[in-house]
């Protein structure tokens, strides 16, 4: 069954603290975005400013050009998963191996133009593959359901891998994404910009888990 993971994309420590406090009452698994101003054009809080409630299951999505410069600091935080981009400026293999050796799940994110077969080795090595349809470093994006074909191609390469989706998830498409065998729906703006984020979270869960009607 798919899960909803609210996303945190924060530029300042105050904004980060406020967002954590806002999500804490209902969130179980969360998706924390980290950017370097290079791979993604915006700057978020840095690795040394990240923290979270002990009971959270945390995936860190590091939109960075050089993962090797971040991997040790991220390992020290002990998240559930760390996700680097297949399109980074260096070979991801050593960083993925370091994560797995530390008992942290290794994730790989694919931008819209990236064809799964061209990064087959990364997908085979990964515990999690993120289909990214968003705007690097910003909330928003459009959930192009044509990208669900990419989910199928990923599963042909690695049938047991966990698949996440990032970009444009909302109440209108959560059911279709879950039916497309996406395991983790990362939700940014739809929850964070809501007047009542807990209500939207509950609505997304309900929509995602409803039964299809033939």
Beta carbons of 6 and 164 less than 8 angstroms apart = no
Dist CA 56 CA 161 (whole Å): 21
Q: Which residue has the higher pLDDT, 211 or 124?
A: 124
Residue 171 to residues 1, 33, 175, 179, 206, Cα–Cα distance (Å): 17, 21, 8, 14, 9
Dist CA 209 CA 184 (whole Å): 13
pTM summary value:
0.94
Provide CB contacts within 8 A for 138, sequence distance 6+.
9, 42
What's the CATH fold of domain 3-208?
A: TIM Barrel (3.20.20)
Which of 201, 160, 213 has the alpha carbon at shortest distance from 3?
A: 201
**Tens-digit pLDDT profile for residues 92-121:** 999 999 999 999 999 999 999 999 999 999
């Amino acid at each position: 069954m798919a899960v909803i993971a609210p996303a945190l994309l924060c530029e300042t420590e105050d904004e980060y603290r406020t967002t954590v406090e806002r999500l804490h009452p209902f969130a179980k698994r969360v998706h924390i975005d980290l950017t370097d101003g290079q791979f993604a054009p915006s700057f978020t809080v840095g690795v040394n400013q990240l923290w979270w409630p002990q009971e959270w299951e945390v995936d860190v999505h590091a939109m960075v050009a050089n993962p090797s410069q971040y991997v040790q600091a991220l390992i020290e935080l002990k998240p559930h998963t760390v996700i680097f981009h297949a399109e980074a400026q260096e070979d991801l293999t050593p960083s993925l191996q370091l994560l797995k050796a530390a008992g942290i799940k290794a994730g790989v994110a694919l931008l819209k133009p990236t064809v799964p077969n061209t990064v087959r080795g990364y997908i085979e090595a990964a515990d999690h593959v993120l289909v990214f349809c968003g705007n690097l470093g910003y909330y928003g994006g459009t959930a192009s359901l044509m990208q669900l074909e990419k989910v199928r191609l990923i599963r042909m390469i690695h049938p047991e891998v966990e698949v996440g989706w990032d970009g444009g998830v909302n109440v209108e498409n959560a059911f279709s994404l879950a039916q497309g065998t996406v395991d983790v729906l990362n939700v940014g703006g739809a929850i964070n910009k809501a007047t009542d984020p807990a209500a939207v979270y509950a609505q997304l869960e309900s929509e995602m888990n409803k039964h299809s009607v033939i």
